[in-house]
């Protein structure tokens, strides 16, 4: 029985050791196997698509492969071994669903438009029918004659009936003349009253003009007083801000001159430079053929290239053209990045007490500055 238990424990231990070994192996691969990158870019002097670019990132014998192309609609592809995780030219499920929703919305809008047009046509037909009915009602009345229907003629009236109408209207004309005289007298009285009211309104307007002028003068005085107060407040706030800025500058100057900053700078300046060297490209090769409209600008560009020649002269060749306007060239960059250096520097920074103390000092002053600004 004891031997069985020991063999089970032995198997479990072996399995655990294998798992731990695999985890350690994968960790070492991630830390020490470099991530290689490659950038190829070119610009043609002629053509619609003048700029071409290829960015390629690989890891562990192309087990991880990331590829980016431009200008082929900014094509991006991410692959692990033989499996493609992402391709920019393939629509995702969300994009497909959004397209379906957009198509459904378009259909609904078209149906709503057809319904609206049908309603508008029906309304137009109803209005046309209504106008036809009104025109039919507006025709002249007709009477039955011996020959048939004929319109009524109001002029065909007997002379006896006309004389009788004039006699009846005579007293009405007399009453109308009397009313006209009364209206003339009333209009005269109303004109006199209007003249009096105009005189009163003129006097009131003159007094109101003086009051308005006085109010405007007082308003101007108040505005000038407020402006002077605002100027005083702005000057005071500017003075306070300048004083706070001077205080912060003095604080940061003391921190930079302290022994703590000197110790941390000596520790990590070399580390940061070493990291930048490891991240920097191992190979850079470029060619540039340039010519501007003004030969003077071409000469200035060549002068800047001469200033940077100790840094980039071995990697980039510049060929000036003083006779033609042209811009073409190529650029090739190769390099790799190892994560071990970055992880090592990050661990040392995280566990270094001096650096943590320096960061706390800087953050404290920044926090106080932010509080002061928010209070203002």
Q: What is the mean pLDDT of residues 280-286?
A: 91
As a whole number of angstroms, the distance between CA 353 and CA 267 comes to: 12
Confidence grade of residue 184 (pLDDT, cut at 50, 70, 90): low
Contact 342, 324 (CB under 8 A): no
Predicted pLDDT of residue 15: 95
* Local structure of residue 376 (DSSP, 8 states): -
Helix intervals (H) in the chain: 2-32, 93-137, 159-256, 259-279, 295-307, 309-312, 339-351, 353-375
Nearest to 39 by CA among 331, 312, 280, 336: 331
> Is residue 198 in a domain?
no
> Is residue 108 in a domain?
no
Contact 43, 327 (CB under 8 A): yes
Domain enclosing residue 350, as ranges: 273-375
Residue 177 has pLDDT above 80, yes or no: no
> Is residue 123 in a domain?
no
Predicted pLDDT of residue 206: 66
Residue 143 has pLDDT above 60, yes or no: no
Contact 362, 268 (CB under 8 A): no
As a whole number of angstroms, the distance between CA 271 and CA 42 comes to: 35
Report phi then psi at 33, rounded to 5.
Answer: -80, 125
> Is residue 13 in a domain?
no
Predicted pLDDT of residue 298: 92
Nearest to 325 by CA among 305, 295, 296: 295
Total domains present in the chain: 1
**Percentage of the chain lying above the pLDDT 70 cut:** 65
User: Where is average pLDDT lowest: 92-96, 198-202, 328-332?
Assistant: 92-96
**Percentage of the chain lying above the pLDDT 90 cut:** 21
> What are 76's strand-pairing partners?
68
Nearest to 302 by CA among 320, 325, 316, 315: 320
Tokens 């003048």 sit on residue: 50
């Amino acid at each position: 029985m004891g031997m069985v238990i020991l063999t089970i424990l032995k198997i479990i231990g072996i399995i655990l050791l294998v798992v731990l070994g695999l985890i350690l192996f994968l960790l070492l691969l991630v830390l020490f196997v470099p991530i290689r990158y490659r950038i190829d870019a070119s610009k043609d002097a002629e053509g619609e698509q003048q700029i071409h670019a290829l960015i390629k990132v690989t890891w562990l014998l192309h087990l991880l492969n990331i590829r980016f192309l431009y200008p082929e609609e900014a094509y991006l592809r991410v692959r692990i071994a033989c499996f493609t995780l992402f391709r920019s030219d393939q629509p995702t499920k969300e994009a497909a669903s959004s397209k379906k929703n957009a198509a459904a919305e378009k259909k609904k809008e078209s149906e709503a438009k057809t319904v609206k047009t049908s309603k508008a046509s029906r309304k137009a037909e109803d209005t046309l029918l209504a106008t036809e009915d009104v025109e039919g009602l507006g025709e002249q009345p007709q009477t039955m004659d011996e020959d048939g229907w004929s319109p009524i003629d109001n002029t065909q009236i007997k002379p006896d009936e006309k004389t009788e109408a004039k006699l009846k209207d005579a007293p009405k004309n007399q009453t109308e003349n009397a009313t006209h005289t009364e209206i003339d007298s009333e209009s005269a009285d109303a004109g006199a009253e209007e003249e009096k009211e105009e005189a009163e309104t003129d006097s009131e307007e003159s007094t109101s003009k003086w009051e308005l002028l006085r109010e405007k003068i007082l308003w101007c005085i108040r505005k000038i007083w407020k402006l002077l107060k605002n100027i005083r407040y702005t000057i005071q706030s500017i003075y306070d801000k300048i004083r706070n800025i001077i205080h912060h500058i003095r604080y940061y100057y003391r921190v930079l001159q302290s022994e703590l900053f000197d110790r941390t700078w000596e520790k990590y300046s070399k580390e940061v430079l070493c990291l930048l060297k490891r991240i920097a490209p191992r190979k850079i090769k470029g060619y540039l053929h340039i010519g501007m409209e003004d030969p003077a600008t071409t000469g200035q560009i060549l002068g800047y290239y001469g200033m940077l020649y100790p840094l980039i002269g071995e990697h980039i060749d510049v060929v000036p053209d003083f006779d033609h306007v042209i811009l073409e060239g190529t650029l090739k960059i190769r390099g790799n990045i190892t994560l071990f250096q970055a992880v090592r520097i990050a661990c040392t920074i995280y566990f270094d007490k001096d650096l943590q103390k320096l960061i706390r000092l800087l953050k404290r002053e920044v926090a106080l500055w932010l509080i002061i600004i928010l209070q203002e």
